[in-house]
Chains A and B, each alone.
Chain A
Amino acid sequence: MSDVLLDVVDAEFRYARGMAPAASGINLQVRPGDAVGIVGESGSGKTTIGRGLVGSLLPSAGSVLVQGRRWKSVSRRDPVRRTVQMVFQDPYASLNPMLSALATVAEVFRVWDKVSADVATSRAEQVLAEVGLSGEVIRRRPALLSGGQRQRVGIARALACSPQVLVADEPTSALDVSVQANVLNLLLDLKASRGLALVLISHDLSVVDYLTDRALVMLNGEVVEQGETQTLLKNPGHEYTKTLIGSIPGTSLTTAS
Protein backbone atom coordinates (compact mmCIF):
# COMPACT_ATOMS: atom_id res chain seq x y z
CA MET A 1 0.00 0.00 0.00
CA SER A 2 2.89 2.30 0.67
CA ASP A 3 3.86 2.57 -2.97
CA VAL A 4 0.44 3.85 -3.97
CA LEU A 5 0.85 7.54 -4.81
CA LEU A 6 -2.77 8.33 -5.45
CA ASP A 7 -5.64 6.23 -4.17
CA VAL A 8 -9.19 7.10 -5.14
CA VAL A 9 -11.79 5.04 -3.30
CA ASP A 10 -15.48 5.24 -4.24
CA ALA A 11 -15.11 8.96 -4.70
CA GLU A 12 -17.92 11.27 -5.63
CA PHE A 13 -17.44 14.90 -6.62
CA ARG A 14 -19.94 17.77 -6.55
CA TYR A 15 -19.29 21.41 -7.38
CA ALA A 16 -21.89 22.57 -4.88
CA ARG A 17 -23.99 20.98 -2.22
CA GLY A 18 -27.36 20.01 -3.63
CA MET A 19 -26.04 19.83 -7.17
CA ALA A 20 -25.93 16.49 -8.97
CA PRO A 21 -22.51 14.86 -8.70
CA ALA A 22 -20.17 15.72 -11.58
CA ALA A 23 -18.50 12.33 -11.12
CA SER A 24 -19.23 9.42 -8.86
CA GLY A 25 -18.18 5.86 -8.08
CA ILE A 26 -14.58 6.57 -9.03
CA ASN A 27 -11.92 4.02 -8.08
CA LEU A 28 -8.37 4.49 -9.24
CA GLN A 29 -4.88 3.77 -7.99
CA VAL A 30 -1.75 5.37 -9.35
CA ARG A 31 1.61 3.79 -8.57
CA PRO A 32 5.09 5.00 -9.58
CA GLY A 33 5.59 4.75 -13.33
CA ASP A 34 1.91 4.15 -14.09
CA ALA A 35 0.32 5.68 -17.15
CA VAL A 36 -3.42 6.02 -16.80
CA GLY A 37 -5.78 7.52 -19.32
CA ILE A 38 -9.16 9.09 -18.52
CA VAL A 39 -11.25 9.24 -21.66
CA GLY A 40 -14.56 10.95 -22.22
CA GLU A 41 -16.40 13.69 -24.03
CA SER A 42 -17.35 17.10 -22.71
CA GLY A 43 -19.43 16.88 -19.56
CA SER A 44 -18.32 13.33 -18.86
CA GLY A 45 -16.62 14.32 -15.60
CA LYS A 46 -13.07 13.62 -16.69
CA THR A 47 -11.81 17.10 -15.83
CA THR A 48 -13.59 16.85 -12.46
CA ILE A 49 -11.58 13.73 -11.65
CA GLY A 50 -8.41 15.57 -12.62
CA ARG A 51 -9.25 18.34 -10.18
CA GLY A 52 -9.97 15.75 -7.53
CA LEU A 53 -6.63 14.03 -8.09
CA VAL A 54 -4.63 17.24 -7.55
CA GLY A 55 -6.69 18.22 -4.52
CA SER A 56 -8.30 21.36 -5.86
CA LEU A 57 -11.70 19.70 -5.49
CA LEU A 58 -12.39 17.59 -2.39
CA PRO A 59 -14.63 14.51 -2.73
CA SER A 60 -18.17 14.84 -1.36
CA ALA A 61 -18.14 11.11 -0.60
CA GLY A 62 -15.45 8.44 -0.59
CA SER A 63 -11.83 9.52 -0.48
CA VAL A 64 -8.82 10.65 -2.47
CA LEU A 65 -5.56 9.73 -0.72
CA VAL A 66 -2.22 11.18 -1.70
CA GLN A 67 0.61 9.08 -0.26
CA GLY A 68 -1.99 7.61 2.08
CA ARG A 69 -3.29 10.96 3.31
CA ARG A 70 -6.48 12.83 2.56
CA TRP A 71 -5.97 16.04 0.56
CA LYS A 72 -7.89 17.90 3.24
CA SER A 73 -5.05 17.26 5.72
CA VAL A 74 -2.32 18.36 3.31
CA SER A 75 -1.42 21.95 4.09
CA ARG A 76 0.02 24.49 1.69
CA ARG A 77 3.63 23.82 2.65
CA ASP A 78 3.30 20.08 3.23
CA PRO A 79 5.98 18.20 1.20
CA VAL A 80 3.27 15.69 0.24
CA ARG A 81 1.88 18.43 -2.01
CA ARG A 82 4.90 17.91 -4.24
CA THR A 83 3.69 14.41 -5.15
CA VAL A 84 1.23 15.55 -7.82
CA GLN A 85 1.36 18.42 -10.26
CA MET A 86 -0.82 19.42 -13.16
CA VAL A 87 -0.38 20.32 -16.83
CA PHE A 88 -3.22 22.38 -18.26
CA GLN A 89 -5.11 22.41 -21.53
CA ASP A 90 -4.74 26.05 -22.43
CA PRO A 91 -1.02 26.78 -22.37
CA TYR A 92 -1.57 30.53 -22.50
CA ALA A 93 -4.03 30.79 -19.62
CA SER A 94 -1.82 28.53 -17.52
CA LEU A 95 1.08 30.98 -17.51
CA ASN A 96 1.28 34.36 -15.80
CA PRO A 97 1.50 36.81 -18.73
CA MET A 98 3.77 39.12 -16.77
CA LEU A 99 6.47 36.55 -15.93
CA SER A 100 9.14 35.18 -18.24
CA ALA A 101 9.46 31.42 -18.67
CA LEU A 102 12.55 31.50 -16.50
CA ALA A 103 10.89 33.50 -13.71
CA THR A 104 7.85 31.21 -13.74
CA VAL A 105 9.97 28.11 -13.17
CA ALA A 106 12.48 29.75 -10.83
CA GLU A 107 9.66 30.82 -8.52
CA VAL A 108 8.97 27.16 -7.69
CA PHE A 109 12.54 26.67 -6.49
CA ARG A 110 12.43 29.90 -4.51
CA VAL A 111 9.32 28.74 -2.68
CA TRP A 112 10.07 25.05 -2.17
CA ASP A 113 13.84 24.84 -1.90
CA LYS A 114 14.27 28.23 -0.19
CA VAL A 115 17.30 28.97 -2.34
CA SER A 116 18.73 32.29 -3.48
CA ALA A 117 17.55 33.90 -6.70
CA ASP A 118 20.74 32.87 -8.51
CA VAL A 119 20.48 29.23 -7.51
CA ALA A 120 16.78 29.17 -8.38
CA THR A 121 17.53 30.63 -11.80
CA SER A 122 20.22 28.11 -12.61
CA ARG A 123 18.00 25.23 -11.48
CA ALA A 124 15.17 26.64 -13.58
CA GLU A 125 17.51 26.76 -16.57
CA GLN A 126 18.25 23.07 -16.05
CA VAL A 127 14.59 22.08 -15.93
CA LEU A 128 13.77 24.22 -18.94
CA ALA A 129 16.62 22.55 -20.82
CA GLU A 130 15.16 19.19 -19.83
CA VAL A 131 11.91 20.13 -21.62
CA GLY A 132 13.86 21.41 -24.61
CA LEU A 133 13.93 25.14 -23.97
CA SER A 134 17.17 27.07 -23.75
CA GLY A 135 18.84 30.25 -24.89
CA GLU A 136 17.12 33.57 -25.33
CA VAL A 137 13.65 31.98 -25.55
CA ILE A 138 13.43 31.31 -21.81
CA ARG A 139 13.64 35.00 -21.00
CA ARG A 140 10.51 35.74 -23.02
CA ARG A 141 7.07 36.29 -21.63
CA PRO A 142 4.30 33.86 -22.69
CA ALA A 143 2.87 36.22 -25.34
CA LEU A 144 6.11 35.88 -27.31
CA LEU A 145 6.25 32.09 -27.08
CA SER A 146 4.61 29.65 -29.48
CA GLY A 147 1.86 27.34 -28.24
CA GLY A 148 4.22 24.40 -27.98
CA GLN A 149 6.83 26.43 -26.12
CA ARG A 150 4.22 27.62 -23.64
CA GLN A 151 3.14 24.08 -22.96
CA ARG A 152 6.78 23.14 -22.31
CA VAL A 153 7.07 25.96 -19.80
CA GLY A 154 3.93 24.65 -18.08
CA ILE A 155 5.47 21.19 -17.92
CA ALA A 156 8.77 22.58 -16.62
CA ARG A 157 6.95 24.45 -13.87
CA ALA A 158 5.25 21.22 -12.82
CA LEU A 159 8.57 19.33 -12.91
CA ALA A 160 10.33 21.97 -10.83
CA CYS A 161 8.88 20.65 -7.60
CA SER A 162 9.94 17.09 -8.51
CA PRO A 163 6.50 15.47 -8.63
CA GLN A 164 5.98 11.75 -8.90
CA VAL A 165 2.67 12.06 -10.75
CA LEU A 166 1.79 14.41 -13.56
CA VAL A 167 -1.91 14.97 -14.20
CA ALA A 168 -2.26 16.32 -17.73
CA ASP A 169 -5.70 17.65 -18.72
CA GLU A 170 -5.94 17.69 -22.54
CA PRO A 171 -2.32 18.82 -22.76
CA THR A 172 -2.26 18.85 -26.56
CA SER A 173 -5.82 19.74 -27.60
CA ALA A 174 -5.00 23.38 -28.18
CA LEU A 175 -1.92 22.58 -30.24
CA ASP A 176 -1.33 21.92 -33.93
CA VAL A 177 -0.61 18.33 -34.95
CA SER A 178 3.10 18.80 -35.47
CA VAL A 179 3.43 20.65 -32.16
CA GLN A 180 1.31 18.04 -30.40
CA ALA A 181 3.84 15.42 -31.50
CA ASN A 182 6.64 17.34 -29.79
CA VAL A 183 4.76 17.54 -26.51
CA LEU A 184 3.74 13.87 -26.62
CA ASN A 185 7.36 12.88 -27.26
CA LEU A 186 8.39 15.00 -24.30
CA LEU A 187 5.86 13.35 -21.99
CA LEU A 188 7.10 9.98 -23.20
CA ASP A 189 10.70 10.93 -22.47
CA LEU A 190 9.86 12.25 -19.01
CA LYS A 191 8.02 9.07 -18.16
CA ALA A 192 11.18 7.13 -18.94
CA SER A 193 13.83 9.51 -17.58
CA ARG A 194 12.12 10.52 -14.35
CA GLY A 195 9.99 7.45 -13.78
CA LEU A 196 7.01 9.79 -13.68
CA ALA A 197 3.53 8.41 -13.34
CA LEU A 198 1.15 10.01 -15.79
CA VAL A 199 -2.58 10.57 -15.64
CA LEU A 200 -3.68 11.70 -19.07
CA ILE A 201 -7.14 13.23 -19.40
CA SER A 202 -8.19 13.40 -23.03
CA HIS A 203 -11.02 13.09 -25.49
CA ASP A 204 -8.54 11.82 -28.06
CA LEU A 205 -8.34 8.03 -28.01
CA SER A 206 -5.27 7.97 -30.25
CA VAL A 207 -3.34 10.07 -27.73
CA VAL A 208 -4.53 7.91 -24.83
CA ASP A 209 -3.65 4.78 -26.77
CA TYR A 210 -0.22 6.16 -27.52
CA LEU A 211 0.74 7.15 -23.97
CA THR A 212 -1.13 5.03 -21.44
CA ASP A 213 -1.27 1.46 -20.18
CA ARG A 214 -4.59 1.62 -18.36
CA ALA A 215 -7.66 3.70 -19.07
CA LEU A 216 -11.06 4.70 -17.71
CA VAL A 217 -13.88 5.51 -20.09
CA MET A 218 -16.24 8.12 -18.64
CA LEU A 219 -19.82 8.90 -19.59
CA ASN A 220 -22.11 11.29 -17.70
CA GLY A 221 -19.97 11.29 -14.57
CA GLU A 222 -19.59 7.55 -14.35
CA VAL A 223 -16.92 5.09 -15.35
CA VAL A 224 -18.46 2.82 -17.95
CA GLU A 225 -15.37 0.77 -18.61
CA GLN A 226 -11.95 0.46 -17.08
CA GLY A 227 -8.99 -1.72 -17.99
CA GLU A 228 -5.82 -2.11 -20.03
CA THR A 229 -5.79 0.51 -22.75
CA GLN A 230 -4.94 -1.85 -25.57
CA THR A 231 -7.52 -4.44 -24.59
CA LEU A 232 -10.07 -1.72 -24.13
CA LEU A 233 -9.51 -0.36 -27.62
CA LYS A 234 -9.28 -3.74 -29.32
CA ASN A 235 -12.18 -5.41 -27.54
CA PRO A 236 -14.39 -2.72 -26.12
CA GLY A 237 -16.97 -4.17 -23.75
CA HIS A 238 -19.32 -1.25 -23.39
CA GLU A 239 -21.48 0.12 -26.20
CA TYR A 240 -20.28 3.65 -25.54
CA THR A 241 -16.63 2.68 -25.86
CA LYS A 242 -17.47 1.10 -29.21
CA THR A 243 -19.21 4.30 -30.33
CA LEU A 244 -16.22 6.37 -29.27
CA ILE A 245 -13.78 4.18 -31.15
CA GLY A 246 -16.04 4.22 -34.21
CA SER A 247 -16.04 8.01 -34.15
CA ILE A 248 -12.29 8.50 -34.43
CA PRO A 249 -11.73 10.15 -37.80
CA GLY A 250 -9.20 8.72 -40.19
CA THR A 251 -9.12 5.09 -39.13
CA SER A 252 -8.43 4.21 -42.74
CA LEU A 253 -5.41 6.48 -42.51
CA THR A 254 -3.94 4.55 -39.61
CA THR A 255 -4.01 1.22 -41.38
CA ALA A 256 -2.76 2.76 -44.63
CA SER A 257 0.41 4.02 -43.00
Chain B
Amino acid sequence: MNTELLRINGLGVEIAGLPVLSEVSLSLPTNGVLGLVGETGSGKSLTCRALMGLLPRINGKVVAGSITFDGVSLTDLDEPGWARVRGREIGFVPQASLNALDPVMTVGAQLREAVSHLDPDVDAKARSLELLDLVRLPQVREVLRRYPHELSGGMRQRVMIALALAGRPRLLLADEPTTALDVTVQKAILEVFADLRTSTGMGLLLVTHDLGVVADVADTVAVMYGGTVVEFGRAADVMSTPSHPYTAALLGARPATRGRNERLTTIPGVPAVPGQWPAGCRFSPRCAFARDECHHVQPTMLQAADGRSRACHGWPDPSEEAPAHV
Protein backbone atom coordinates (compact mmCIF):
# COMPACT_ATOMS: atom_id res chain seq x y z
CA MET B 1 0.00 0.00 0.00
CA ASN B 2 1.34 3.35 -1.03
CA THR B 3 1.57 5.67 1.93
CA GLU B 4 1.29 8.67 -0.36
CA LEU B 5 -2.34 9.13 -1.33
CA LEU B 6 -2.03 12.19 -3.51
CA ARG B 7 0.83 13.98 -5.17
CA ILE B 8 0.57 17.00 -7.41
CA ASN B 9 3.80 17.80 -9.16
CA GLY B 10 4.50 21.03 -11.03
CA LEU B 11 0.88 21.31 -12.14
CA GLY B 12 0.15 23.98 -14.74
CA VAL B 13 -3.38 24.83 -15.88
CA GLU B 14 -4.68 27.15 -18.57
CA ILE B 15 -8.23 28.39 -19.08
CA ALA B 16 -8.94 29.40 -22.65
CA GLY B 17 -5.21 29.73 -23.21
CA LEU B 18 -4.71 31.94 -20.16
CA PRO B 19 -2.29 30.51 -17.58
CA VAL B 20 -4.09 30.34 -14.22
CA LEU B 21 -2.01 27.79 -12.31
CA SER B 22 1.67 27.02 -12.59
CA GLU B 23 4.15 24.98 -10.59
CA VAL B 24 1.53 23.73 -8.12
CA SER B 25 3.19 21.01 -6.07
CA LEU B 26 1.89 19.33 -2.95
CA SER B 27 1.40 15.89 -1.47
CA LEU B 28 -0.89 14.22 1.00
CA PRO B 29 -0.22 10.97 2.87
CA THR B 30 -2.96 8.35 3.30
CA ASN B 31 -5.19 9.45 6.15
CA GLY B 32 -3.48 12.84 6.28
CA VAL B 33 -5.12 16.26 6.43
CA LEU B 34 -3.77 18.90 4.10
CA GLY B 35 -4.83 22.52 4.40
CA LEU B 36 -4.76 24.45 1.13
CA VAL B 37 -4.66 28.12 2.09
CA GLY B 38 -4.88 31.20 -0.05
CA GLU B 39 -6.75 34.42 -0.63
CA THR B 40 -9.21 35.27 -3.40
CA GLY B 41 -7.75 34.50 -6.81
CA SER B 42 -4.83 32.47 -5.46
CA GLY B 43 -5.93 29.41 -7.42
CA LYS B 44 -7.01 27.13 -4.59
CA SER B 45 -10.46 26.43 -6.02
CA LEU B 46 -8.98 25.82 -9.46
CA THR B 47 -6.60 23.28 -7.95
CA CYS B 48 -9.70 21.52 -6.60
CA ARG B 49 -11.33 21.57 -10.01
CA ALA B 50 -8.21 20.09 -11.56
CA LEU B 51 -8.29 17.34 -8.91
CA MET B 52 -11.89 16.50 -9.77
CA GLY B 53 -11.35 16.57 -13.53
CA LEU B 54 -13.76 19.47 -13.83
CA LEU B 55 -11.48 21.74 -15.86
CA PRO B 56 -12.94 20.95 -19.32
CA ARG B 57 -16.30 22.36 -18.16
CA ILE B 58 -14.75 25.79 -17.75
CA ASN B 59 -12.69 25.44 -20.91
CA GLY B 60 -9.52 24.69 -18.97
CA LYS B 61 -6.84 22.06 -19.37
CA VAL B 62 -3.73 20.74 -17.69
CA VAL B 63 -0.69 21.93 -19.63
CA ALA B 64 2.11 20.81 -17.35
CA GLY B 65 2.91 18.57 -14.43
CA SER B 66 1.05 15.59 -13.03
CA ILE B 67 -1.59 14.52 -10.54
CA THR B 68 -0.97 11.10 -9.02
CA PHE B 69 -3.60 9.44 -6.85
CA ASP B 70 -2.53 6.30 -5.00
CA GLY B 71 0.23 5.69 -7.53
CA VAL B 72 -2.06 6.14 -10.54
CA SER B 73 -1.79 9.15 -12.81
CA LEU B 74 -5.02 11.11 -13.16
CA THR B 75 -3.58 13.66 -15.54
CA ASP B 76 -4.52 11.91 -18.79
CA LEU B 77 -7.86 10.52 -17.66
CA ASP B 78 -10.78 10.81 -20.08
CA GLU B 79 -14.31 11.73 -19.01
CA PRO B 80 -15.49 8.12 -18.31
CA GLY B 81 -12.28 7.62 -16.33
CA TRP B 82 -12.98 10.72 -14.25
CA ALA B 83 -16.54 9.54 -13.70
CA ARG B 84 -15.11 6.43 -11.98
CA VAL B 85 -12.84 8.57 -9.80
CA ARG B 86 -15.35 11.23 -8.81
CA GLY B 87 -17.34 10.31 -5.75
CA ARG B 88 -15.74 6.85 -5.53
CA GLU B 89 -12.07 7.70 -5.09
CA ILE B 90 -12.33 11.42 -4.38
CA GLY B 91 -15.38 12.88 -2.67
CA PHE B 92 -16.11 16.57 -3.16
CA VAL B 93 -17.83 19.13 -0.97
CA PRO B 94 -18.04 22.13 -3.29
CA GLN B 95 -17.81 25.78 -2.31
CA ALA B 96 -21.06 27.53 -1.39
CA SER B 97 -22.62 24.11 -1.05
CA LEU B 98 -25.23 25.33 1.43
CA ASN B 99 -27.58 25.86 -1.48
CA ALA B 100 -26.43 22.86 -3.48
CA LEU B 101 -29.10 20.46 -2.24
CA ASP B 102 -32.14 19.88 -4.42
CA PRO B 103 -34.94 21.90 -2.77
CA VAL B 104 -37.78 19.63 -3.95
CA MET B 105 -36.28 16.30 -2.80
CA THR B 106 -36.09 15.10 0.78
CA VAL B 107 -32.68 14.59 2.29
CA GLY B 108 -33.36 10.85 2.37
CA ALA B 109 -34.21 10.68 -1.33
CA GLN B 110 -31.06 12.56 -2.25
CA LEU B 111 -28.89 10.33 -0.11
CA ARG B 112 -30.49 7.14 -1.46
CA GLU B 113 -29.99 8.38 -5.00
CA ALA B 114 -26.29 9.02 -4.36
CA VAL B 115 -25.81 5.65 -2.62
CA SER B 116 -27.57 3.62 -5.31
CA HIS B 117 -25.49 5.38 -7.95
CA LEU B 118 -22.09 5.15 -6.27
CA ASP B 119 -22.43 2.08 -4.08
CA PRO B 120 -25.16 -0.07 -5.69
CA ASP B 121 -24.47 -3.27 -3.74
CA VAL B 122 -25.61 -2.03 -0.34
CA ASP B 123 -29.06 -1.31 1.06
CA ALA B 124 -29.50 2.34 0.23
CA LYS B 125 -31.74 3.09 3.18
CA ALA B 126 -29.47 1.53 5.79
CA ARG B 127 -26.43 3.13 4.23
CA SER B 128 -28.15 6.57 4.29
CA LEU B 129 -28.68 6.24 8.02
CA GLU B 130 -25.09 5.18 8.45
CA LEU B 131 -23.84 8.18 6.44
CA LEU B 132 -25.81 10.63 8.55
CA ASP B 133 -24.41 8.96 11.66
CA LEU B 134 -20.92 9.45 10.27
CA VAL B 135 -21.44 13.20 10.06
CA ARG B 136 -22.92 13.16 13.57
CA LEU B 137 -26.41 14.34 12.69
CA PRO B 138 -28.82 13.78 15.56
CA GLN B 139 -32.23 12.16 14.97
CA VAL B 140 -31.20 10.74 11.63
CA ARG B 141 -34.57 9.16 10.81
CA GLU B 142 -36.24 12.52 11.28
CA VAL B 143 -33.65 14.27 9.08
CA LEU B 144 -34.16 11.80 6.23
CA ARG B 145 -37.76 12.95 5.86
CA ARG B 146 -36.87 16.64 5.81
CA TYR B 147 -36.49 19.00 2.89
CA PRO B 148 -33.30 21.07 2.72
CA HIS B 149 -35.03 24.34 3.65
CA GLU B 150 -36.19 22.78 6.91
CA LEU B 151 -32.58 22.30 8.04
CA SER B 152 -30.15 24.80 9.52
CA GLY B 153 -27.00 25.77 7.64
CA GLY B 154 -24.85 23.50 9.75
CA MET B 155 -27.16 20.53 9.21
CA ARG B 156 -27.25 21.11 5.46
CA GLN B 157 -23.47 21.19 5.37
CA ARG B 158 -23.40 17.84 7.22
CA VAL B 159 -25.78 16.40 4.65
CA MET B 160 -23.50 17.67 1.87
CA ILE B 161 -20.56 15.93 3.51
CA ALA B 162 -22.62 12.75 3.91
CA LEU B 163 -23.40 12.89 0.17
CA ALA B 164 -19.71 13.25 -0.62
CA LEU B 165 -19.02 10.15 1.51
CA ALA B 166 -21.63 7.98 -0.26
CA GLY B 167 -19.09 6.40 -2.63
CA ARG B 168 -16.64 5.61 0.21
CA PRO B 169 -13.93 7.87 -1.21
CA ARG B 170 -10.38 7.63 0.05
CA LEU B 171 -9.86 11.35 -0.28
CA LEU B 172 -12.35 14.02 0.64
CA LEU B 173 -11.97 17.40 -0.99
CA ALA B 174 -13.72 20.21 0.88
CA ASP B 175 -13.69 23.69 -0.67
CA GLU B 176 -14.33 26.35 2.00
CA PRO B 177 -16.72 24.04 3.86
CA THR B 178 -17.24 26.33 6.86
CA THR B 179 -16.96 29.81 5.35
CA ALA B 180 -20.63 30.77 5.51
CA LEU B 181 -21.21 29.19 8.91
CA ASP B 182 -21.22 30.62 12.42
CA VAL B 183 -18.12 29.94 14.49
CA THR B 184 -19.81 27.50 16.85
CA VAL B 185 -21.20 25.56 13.89
CA GLN B 186 -17.83 25.75 12.15
CA LYS B 187 -16.21 24.15 15.16
CA ALA B 188 -18.71 21.29 15.11
CA ILE B 189 -18.15 20.67 11.38
CA LEU B 190 -14.38 20.66 11.84
CA GLU B 191 -14.86 18.09 14.57
CA VAL B 192 -16.85 15.97 12.12
CA PHE B 193 -13.89 16.05 9.74
CA ALA B 194 -11.53 15.02 12.51
CA ASP B 195 -13.85 12.11 13.40
CA LEU B 196 -14.19 10.99 9.79
CA ARG B 197 -10.47 10.78 9.51
CA THR B 198 -10.31 8.22 12.30
CA SER B 199 -13.55 6.40 11.49
CA THR B 200 -13.00 6.01 7.72
CA GLY B 201 -9.24 6.29 7.39
CA MET B 202 -9.54 8.66 4.48
CA GLY B 203 -7.42 11.65 3.61
CA LEU B 204 -8.77 15.19 3.70
CA LEU B 205 -7.85 18.14 1.55
CA LEU B 206 -9.33 21.22 3.16
CA VAL B 207 -9.40 24.41 1.12
CA THR B 208 -9.77 27.54 3.21
CA HIS B 209 -8.78 31.17 3.51
CA ASP B 210 -8.66 30.87 7.29
CA LEU B 211 -5.25 30.12 8.74
CA GLY B 212 -6.87 29.45 12.10
CA VAL B 213 -8.90 26.59 10.65
CA VAL B 214 -5.75 25.10 9.13
CA ALA B 215 -3.89 25.39 12.41
CA ASP B 216 -6.69 23.49 14.15
CA VAL B 217 -7.21 20.55 11.80
CA ALA B 218 -4.43 20.16 9.24
CA ASP B 219 -1.14 18.37 9.68
CA THR B 220 0.35 19.69 6.48
CA VAL B 221 -0.33 22.99 4.78
CA ALA B 222 0.18 24.35 1.27
CA VAL B 223 0.06 28.13 0.94
CA MET B 224 -1.01 29.42 -2.48
CA TYR B 225 -0.44 32.82 -4.01
CA GLY B 226 -0.85 33.96 -7.60
CA GLY B 227 -1.74 30.53 -8.97
CA THR B 228 1.22 28.74 -7.45
CA VAL B 229 2.16 27.06 -4.18
CA VAL B 230 4.68 29.23 -2.38
CA GLU B 231 5.19 27.22 0.79
CA PHE B 232 4.51 23.64 1.81
CA GLY B 233 5.25 21.82 5.04
CA ARG B 234 4.04 20.59 8.39
CA ALA B 235 1.29 22.90 9.61
CA ALA B 236 2.85 23.45 13.01
CA ASP B 237 6.19 24.43 11.44
CA VAL B 238 4.74 26.69 8.78
CA MET B 239 2.51 28.46 11.27
CA SER B 240 5.15 28.97 13.92
CA THR B 241 8.09 29.79 11.68
CA PRO B 242 6.88 30.76 8.22
CA SER B 243 9.64 30.59 5.65
CA HIS B 244 7.96 32.52 2.84
CA PRO B 245 7.37 36.28 3.18
CA TYR B 246 3.76 35.89 2.02
CA THR B 247 2.96 33.31 4.69
CA ALA B 248 4.60 35.52 7.28
CA ALA B 249 2.58 38.53 6.13
CA LEU B 250 -0.67 36.56 6.19
CA LEU B 251 -0.02 35.42 9.73
CA GLY B 252 0.88 38.94 10.81
CA ALA B 253 -2.33 40.29 9.31
CA ARG B 254 -4.51 38.37 11.76
CA PRO B 255 -5.88 40.66 14.46
CA ALA B 256 -5.50 37.87 17.00
CA THR B 257 -1.73 38.11 16.70
CA ARG B 258 -1.59 41.71 17.84
CA GLY B 259 -2.34 43.53 21.02
CA ARG B 260 -5.23 45.98 20.92
CA ASN B 261 -4.59 49.27 19.18
CA GLU B 262 -1.37 47.97 17.71
CA ARG B 263 -1.23 48.24 13.93
CA LEU B 264 -1.51 45.02 11.95
CA THR B 265 0.99 43.94 9.33
CA THR B 266 -0.42 44.70 5.91
CA ILE B 267 0.63 43.63 2.45
CA PRO B 268 1.04 46.62 0.14
CA GLY B 269 -0.44 46.59 -3.34
CA VAL B 270 -3.18 44.38 -4.71
CA PRO B 271 -3.22 40.59 -5.20
CA ALA B 272 -1.89 39.22 -8.47
CA VAL B 273 -4.66 38.57 -10.99
CA PRO B 274 -4.67 35.46 -13.23
CA GLY B 275 -3.43 36.33 -16.68
CA GLN B 276 -1.57 39.37 -15.37
CA TRP B 277 1.15 37.63 -13.41
CA PRO B 278 4.12 39.84 -12.68
CA ALA B 279 7.50 38.75 -14.03
CA GLY B 280 9.69 36.73 -11.71
CA CYS B 281 8.24 35.81 -8.34
CA ARG B 282 4.48 36.40 -8.32
CA PHE B 283 4.71 38.00 -4.90
CA SER B 284 7.72 40.20 -5.69
CA PRO B 285 5.81 43.48 -6.33
CA ARG B 286 4.33 43.29 -2.83
CA CYS B 287 7.26 41.71 -1.03
CA ALA B 288 9.22 43.77 1.48
CA PHE B 289 12.29 41.59 0.95
CA ALA B 290 12.27 41.47 -2.86
CA ARG B 291 15.68 41.72 -4.47
CA ASP B 292 16.62 42.24 -8.07
CA GLU B 293 16.43 38.59 -9.09
CA CYS B 294 12.97 38.26 -7.51
CA HIS B 295 11.57 40.56 -10.19
CA HIS B 296 13.06 38.52 -13.02
CA VAL B 297 13.34 34.86 -12.12
CA GLN B 298 10.38 32.81 -10.90
CA PRO B 299 11.60 30.79 -7.92
CA THR B 300 10.98 27.04 -7.90
CA MET B 301 9.96 24.95 -4.91
CA LEU B 302 13.06 24.03 -2.98
CA GLN B 303 13.09 21.56 -0.13
CA ALA B 304 14.91 22.38 3.06
CA ALA B 305 16.49 19.84 5.39
CA ASP B 306 13.42 19.64 7.62
CA GLY B 307 11.17 18.48 4.78
CA ARG B 308 9.56 21.86 4.23
CA SER B 309 9.64 23.43 0.83
CA ARG B 310 9.11 26.92 -0.43
CA ALA B 311 9.40 28.95 -3.60
CA CYS B 312 11.48 31.96 -2.62
CA HIS B 313 14.83 33.35 -3.63
CA GLY B 314 15.92 33.32 -0.06
CA TRP B 315 14.17 35.01 2.78
CA PRO B 316 15.20 35.04 5.52
CA ASP B 317 18.21 32.84 4.84
CA PRO B 318 19.08 31.32 1.49
CA SER B 319 21.37 28.62 2.86
CA GLU B 320 20.68 24.91 3.45
CA GLU B 321 18.52 24.32 0.41
CA ALA B 322 18.38 21.49 -2.07
CA PRO B 323 16.02 21.03 -5.04
CA ALA B 324 12.75 19.37 -4.12
CA HIS B 325 11.34 16.18 -5.68
CA VAL B 326 14.63 14.72 -6.92
Asked if chains A and B are in direct contact (CB within 8 A), the reply is yes
A-to-B contact residues, CB < 8 Å:
41-42, 146-147, 176-182, 184-185, 188, 203-207, 209-211, 230, 243-244, 246-254, 256-257
Question: Could you tell me the dominant secondary structure of chain A's interface residues?
Answer: helix
Q: For the complex, is B264 an interface residue (Cβ under 8 Å from A)?
A: yes
Q: For the complex, is B213 an interface residue (Cβ under 8 Å from A)?
A: yes
Nearest chain A CB to B253 CB, angstrom units: 4
23 A-B residue pairs with Cβ-Cβ distance under 8 Å, sorted by A, are A41-B184, A146-B271, A177-B39, A177-B253, A177-B254, A180-B253, A180-B255, A181-B252, A181-B266, A209-B260, A210-B256, A210-B264, A211-B255, A211-B260, A243-B184, A247-B184, A249-B183, A250-B212, A251-B212, A253-B215, A254-B256, A257-B251, A257-B257
| Cβ-defined partner of A256 (8 Å) among B40, B240, B258, B266 | B240
Q: For the complex, is B325 an interface residue (Cβ under 8 Å from A)?
A: no
Complex Cα–Cα for A206 and B259 (A) = 10
Q: Which residue of A lies closest to B37 (CB)?
A: A177
Which residues of B are found within 8 Å of A203, using beta-carbon distances? 182-183
Q: Tell me whether A181 and B255 are in contact in the complex, defined as CB-CB below 8 angstroms, given that A176-B39, A250-B216 are known contacts.
A: yes
Q: Which residue of B lies closest to A205 (CB)?
A: B183
Nearest chain B CB to A156 CB, angstrom units: 18
CB contacts under 8 Å to A, within B213-268, are: 213-216, 239-240, 249-258, 260-261, 263-267
Number of interface residues of B (CB under 8 A): 39
Report whether B183 and A41 are in contact in the complex, using a CB–CB cutoff of 8 Å: yes
Complex Cα–Cα for A248 and B21 (A) = 32
Q: For the complex, is B141 an interface residue (Cβ under 8 Å from A)?
A: no
Question: Could you tell me the dominant secondary structure of chain B's interface residues?
Answer: helix
Complex Cα–Cα for A203 and B185 (A) = 12
Which residues of A are found within 8 Å of B186, using beta-carbon distances? 247, 249
B-to-A contact residues, CB < 8 Å:
39-40, 153, 182-187, 190, 209-216, 239-240, 249-258, 260-261, 263-267, 270-271
Which residues of B are found within 8 Å of A209, using beta-carbon distances? 255-256, 260
Which residues of A are found within 8 Å of B190, using beta-carbon distances? 249
Report whether A244 and B266 are in contact in the complex, using a CB–CB cutoff of 8 Å: no
Report whether B187 and A246 are in contact in the complex, using a CB–CB cutoff of 8 Å: yes
Report whether B266 and A185 are in contact in the complex, using a CB–CB cutoff of 8 Å: yes
Report whether A177 and B250 are in contact in the complex, using a CB–CB cutoff of 8 Å: yes
